[in-house]
Structure 1
Amino acid sequence: MQPYYFPYLGYFQLMGAVDKFVIFDDVQFIKKGWIHRNRILLEGHTKPIHIKIDHMTQHRHIREHARILDSVHDRYQLRLLRHAYQHAPFYADVMPMLERIMQDEEQNVAVYLETLLTEIRDYVGLQTEFLVSSSLDYDRSLKCESLVIEMCRHLHAGHYINAIGGQSLYHKETFAGAGVPLNFIKMEPVEYRQFNNPFVPDLSMIDVLMFNSKAKVRELLNAYTLV
């Protein structure tokens, strides 16, 4: 998976379902994707959060992009989070981690996001090993399914799990022919109390952590089926 900025629960369900999670950092930067942005809950409504990127373009890989280190912007984002979640039940546990992440001065976008994902992985107690695609020795001339199958072979994978959106890209028959069973992870409907507001789904993992204990988060991480 590409590294995302505080991705949603389903991203971490995928992370928890596997032994090795490959952070795809040597693919193009999708400007309309979730690499640099996400959404939180503010006064019952969604509110965007983001990191500032220097000369963001789809013509360069994710790892070839740099953050703009802007202390004013970072302080604003932190104030936003404090205002949004200061009365959430697990604010005191989660906020120090968010402060560390947002005040990190790492400029490389891919390295910064790997740190972010590592912090959350460790907080919720996942044991998944991270690998970074740019550090792997595989045939990068291949495309789409062939590229992923080559990476699976390189890592001696006995089972490949992809996000549910991958159903339009990858085919079980093709992977089975290469000796790698393929499944897609489908998140079950998840709801939890967000103050006294109607539930707003598909927000950043920040929202999940603010309203749920670590034990409850681990339950939610298992709320999926493989199809």
Structure 2
Amino acid sequence: MKLAIMQPYLFPYFGYYQLINAVDKFVVYDDVNFIKQGWINRNNILVNGNSYLFTVPLNNQSSFNKINVTTVNEKIYFSWTNKFLKTIEQNYNKAPFYDEVFPLLKKVFQIDENHISSIAVKSLKLISDYIGIDTIFEDSSEKYKNQYLSSQERVLDICIKEQTNHYINPIGGLDLYSKQDFSEKGILLNFIKSKKVEYIQFNDKFVPNLSIIDMLMFNDISSIKIFINEYELI
């Protein structure tokens, strides 16, 4: 079985979905420390032909708190959500797949849940279903009970408990994990590296590194499936 482990990101870029699609089970690493200035509660969309950063307002953002206990700022969350969806409408309403995608975005924010991890996970699951990815999701906080471990040891412990023989990690972990250490446990370790992907937006100039929202707005599902498979394992 192929396994991946990653913190929950809200509407991440397409490379995140490549990782989900590459494995049989995807562990949402929700009981690790919140990453300030990371991608848990923010990403980029296309606004007036440029990259625009959106950020979900949270309470007490701190790298000392776990992701799964970090909550949205309810005083401004709903007004922020309405403003964000309006920004999407104003900037993507002429995109070819706006009518299919916009209801998905609204559904992510229309939940009775104030934890950012739950909102982010819903974005991952709904978009995966839309694309046709059937990977199984598992929350680390609900199953493994190994917070006393850290870094590679904890990842290995999850792999062993899941009886996986192939662990795939984002390319950013290349210097963090040892193929030899995984091999000694009977586990093949690979790192996923996205290939360059471009598609037609509104203008001739392609704006890269945007949320999956942008790719969904401009491409049909069959094209997205091709993009999702544009990677190599190192």
Tell whether the structures are fold-level matches, with TM greater than 0.5. Answer: yes
1:1-30, CA deviations, whole angstroms, 9 ceiling, x for partnerless residues? 000011000000000000000000000001
The code of the aligned residue for 1:75 comes to: N
**What percentage of residue pairs aligned between the two structures are identical?**
41
Deviation, structure 1 residue 138: 4.4
Over 3 Å off, 4+ runs = none
The answer to whether residue 44 in structure 2 is matched with residue 39 in structure 1 is: yes
2:13 equivalent in structure 1: 8
1:167 equivalent in structure 2: 174
Q: Is the 1:51–1:67 Cα contact (8 Å) retained in structure 2? A: yes
The answer to whether residue 202 in structure 2 is matched with residue 186 in structure 1 is: no
Structure 2's unaligned 5+ residue stretches are 1-5
| Matches of 1:163 and 1:115, distance apart in 2 | 21
* SS at 2:12 equivalent: coil
| Matches of 1:143 and 1:105, distance apart in 2 | 32
Structure 1's unaligned 5+ residue stretches are none
| Matches of 2:119 and 2:203, distance apart in 1 | 34
Q: Which among 159, 173, 180 is matched to residue 152 of structure 1?
A: 159
TM-score (norm 2): 0.94
The code of the aligned residue for 1:79 comes to: K
1:22 equivalent in structure 2: 27
The code of the aligned residue for 2:195 comes to: E
- Mean Cα displacement is larger for which, 11-20 or 137-146? 137-146
Aligned length, in residue pairs: 227
Structure 1 pair 101/2, CA: closer, same or farther in 2 (3 Å)? Answer: same
Deviation, structure 1 residue 144: 1.3
| Matches of 1:35 and 1:118, distance apart in 2 | 15
| Matches of 1:154 and 1:140, distance apart in 2 | 14
2:66 equivalent in structure 1: 61
* SS at 2:54 equivalent: strand
1:142-199, CA deviations, whole angstroms, 9 ceiling, x for partnerless residues? 2211111111000101100000101011111111112110000010010000112301
The code of the aligned residue for 1:80 comes to: T
